[in-house]
């Protein structure tokens, strides 16, 4: 993996992290605009994502780097990383291999309130036991 | 404003809020897919958004409901509210009037890391002093 420039390293340091050292990161499919998921990143995961070109989050439950796709094969290739005006939220333009959601759906936002009632609006594409059978 | 159904009220109660009673909410322009901004909502702002059809956030700095557009006129009409698989992040499909960002840009994610360097990639559309002159 390549080293990051002084400017990019300063950019990462300059972000506004929460009390746990994290920022929310929205993953969006770069060509269709589909919002795939939201997860969290710390300094190390941002640096590794920018160096390696593959998205790495921070898992709050496992308290460890989460190299998305290591278990499921459903990796996210980074196309571009952006930050918002307050430097406290990231937008990751990605190329999602397969499905983003652990339920086997393409994206995580598959429940919508329609006609004043919550409804499931997307089908499972890959059975979860196939995603995690390795 | 209309009252919400028992199902929708239970849906709001069933979301996973953080220690401050908030969930992150991503606003996406419903027809173009542009990710506009990320802000926070509490139970009350979600209910008011669903009842009124206009997006209301919770301002963490002002510790008050933030009826987006009350000061700037740049309101967000709600098209659909969705929640993710963990019930801890919302996706708001909206119709954004004018600009979403307080800097006068269409969306808040106007800084990108390109060629290992952070760069401003979007122009100001409305001068901020015009947005807040009222």
* ipTM of predicted assembly, 2 dp: 0.96
Three-state secondary-structure class, residue A121? coil
Q: Is the pTM of this model over 0.95?
A: yes
- Interface test with chain A among B18, B33, B35, B113, by most A beta carbons within 10 Å: B113
Q: What is the DSSP string of B15-65?
A: S---TTS-EEEEEEETTT--EEEEEEE-HHHHHHHHHHSB-EEEETTTTEE
Contact A75, A52 (CB under 8 A): no
> Would you state the pLDDT for residue A134?
52
Q: Residues B37-52: pLDDT tens digits?
A: 999 999 999 999 999 9
> Would you state the pLDDT for residue B132?
81
Q: Tell me phi and psi for residue B13, to 5 degrees.
A: -65, -30
Residues of chain B found within 8 Å of residue A89, distances taken between Cβ atoms: 38, 108-109
Closest CA to B49 of A26, A110, A113: A113
Q: Residues B58-68: pLDDT tens digits?
A: 999 999 999 99
Q: How far apart are the first and last CA of chain B?
A: 26
Query: What is the nearest CA distance from B80 to chain A, expressed in angstroms?
Result: 7
Is residue B134 scored above 60 in pLDDT?
no
Q: A69: which 2 tokens? A: 């796709």
Query: What is the nearest CA distance from A104 to chain B, expressed in angstroms?
Result: 11
User: Domains in chain A, start-ordered, CATH in brackets?
Assistant: 6-100 (3.10.20.810)
Residues of chain B found within 8 Å of residue A34, distances taken between Cβ atoms: 33
The answer to whether the CB atoms of A117 and B8 lie below 8 A apart is yes
Higher pLDDT residue, B133 or A99? A99
Tens digit of pLDDT at every position of chain A (134 positions) = 579 999 999 999 999 999 999 999 999 999 999 999 999 999 999 999 999 999 999 999 999 999 999 989 999 999 999 999 999 999 999 999 999 999 999 999 999 999 999 999 999 999 999 888 65
Categorize the per-residue pLDDT at B29 as very low, low, confident or very high, splitting at 50, 70 and 90: very high
Locate the chain B residue with the closest alpha carbon to A8: B117
- Asked if A25 is an interface residue toward chain B (Cβ–Cβ < 8 A), one would say no
Residues of chain A found within 8 Å of residue B34, distances taken between Cβ atoms: 33
> Would you state the pLDDT for residue A1?
58
Three-state secondary-structure class, residue A114? strand
């Amino acid at each position: 993996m390549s080293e990051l420039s002084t400017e990019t390293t300063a950019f990462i340091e300059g972000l506004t992290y929460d009390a746990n050292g994290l920022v929310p990161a929205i993953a969006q499919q770069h060509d269709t605009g589909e919002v795939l998921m939201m997860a969290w990143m710390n300094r190390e995961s941002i640096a590794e994502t920018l160096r390696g070109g593959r998205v790495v989050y921070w898992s709050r439950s496992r308290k460890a780097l989460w190299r998305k796709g290591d278990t499921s094969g459903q990796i996210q290739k980074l196309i571009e990383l952006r930050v918002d005006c307050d430097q406290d939220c990231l937008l990751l333009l990605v190329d999602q291999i397969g499905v983003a959601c652990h339920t086997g759906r393409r994206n995580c936002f598959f429940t919508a309130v329609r006609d004043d009632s919550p409804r499931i609006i997307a089908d499972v594409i890959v059975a979860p036991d196939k995603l995690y059978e390795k």
